[in-house]
Amino acid sequence: MDNEKSDVPAVRVSAVSKGYGKGAARAEVLRSLSLELPKGAFAAVMGASGCGKSTLLHVVAGLVAPDSGKVEIGGRDVTAMSDGEATRFRRRHVGVVFQSFNLVESLDVAENVELPVRLDHARPDAERLDALLRRLGLADKRRRRPRELSGGERQRVAIARALFAKPDVVLADEPTGNLDVAAAHGICALLRELHREEHCSILLVTHDPVVAACAGTVHFLREGAVAASFAPGGDPGAVSARYLEFYR
């Protein structure tokens, strides 16, 4: 049984479709898209603007319901859950990092990191909090509000929040999109290190070849489906070349 369980992908997306609007104005964003993220893997999703990258991530997170198809996380069918069940499952098994940080301005750094656990009516692990804040260079910022932090610091708070409950999967939507180049490269290196240290599976959406090169696999989306995948080998230049080759 243990071997069978270990073979279950961290994420399995099966023939998922999602569209918005009605009639002539309807736009089909995802078209029977299928993708697997093996347990412990780090994968990036890239594609032209509007190809469905963020929609895919929101569907995987259970934030958006697909029109058809199925999403499984650790073998659990997220698409079959009610909104309440999906919310509880996400708090316990999925960490989400948003491009816009999504921090609560009235809470300090420590309170923002603890928030999902408190919303789940559980007691935050003080040692885990201290360790994460130290690891992410936020130990001296724990009582500051988000408005008192730089963009890179706010994103590190968002990453700490996503990791705090030791999720099985971390989903990151353009995690460096609102950062300058230096901060973006710092977040990229941090994600690579945390993936190794935390033993979590990571699926991120990005337009940045430097960030994508951190992943073990890059999936290219076209017309709402995975059209190609390759292993970047840590080389942003290879990602850029393949991207230009694929979308020209």
**DSSP letters along 75-122, please?**
TEEGGGS-HHHHHHHHHHHEEEE-TT----TTS-HHHHHHHHHHHTT-
pLDDT band per the 50, 70, 90 thresholds, residue 5: low
**pLDDT(248) > 80:** no
- Of 180, 233, 228, the residue nearest 208 (C-alpha): 180
* 6/186: higher pLDDT: 186
Listed in sequence order, the residues at least 6 apart from 110 whose beta carbon sits closer than 8 Å to its beta carbon are: 129, 133, 142, 143
Would you say how long the chain is, in residues? 248
pLDDT tens digit sequence for 53-87: 999 999 999 889 999 999 999 999 999 999 889 88
Mean pLDDT computed over 15-36: 93
Q: What's the order of all strands across the beta sheet hosting 11-20?
A: 27-37, 11-20, 68-73, 76-77
For residue 2, what pLDDT is reported? 43
**pLDDT(1) > 50:** no
pLDDT band per the 50, 70, 90 thresholds, residue 48: confident
Can you say whether the dihedral through the CA atoms of 190, 166, 133, 115 is positive or negative?
positive
Separation between Cα atoms, residue 121 and residue 128, nearest integer Å: 17
Percent of the chain with pLDDT over 90: 65
**pLDDT(148) > 60:** yes
Please check whether the domain covering 2-103+168-247 is classified as CATH 3.20.20.100. Answer: no
Residue corresponding to tokens 């909090």: 129
How do the domains of the chain map onto residue ranges? 2-103+168-247
pLDDT band per the 50, 70, 90 thresholds, residue 141: very high
Separation between Cα atoms, residue 50 and residue 224, nearest integer Å: 9
For residue 31, what pLDDT is reported? 95
Separation between Cα atoms, residue 162 and residue 39, nearest integer Å: 17
Q: What is the pTM of this model?
A: 0.90
- Phi-psi category of residue 196: left, alpha or beta, with phi > 0 → left and psi -120 to 50 → alpha: alpha
For residue 174, what pLDDT is reported? 87
Burial of 28 (0-12, 13-18, 19+ CB in 10 A): middle
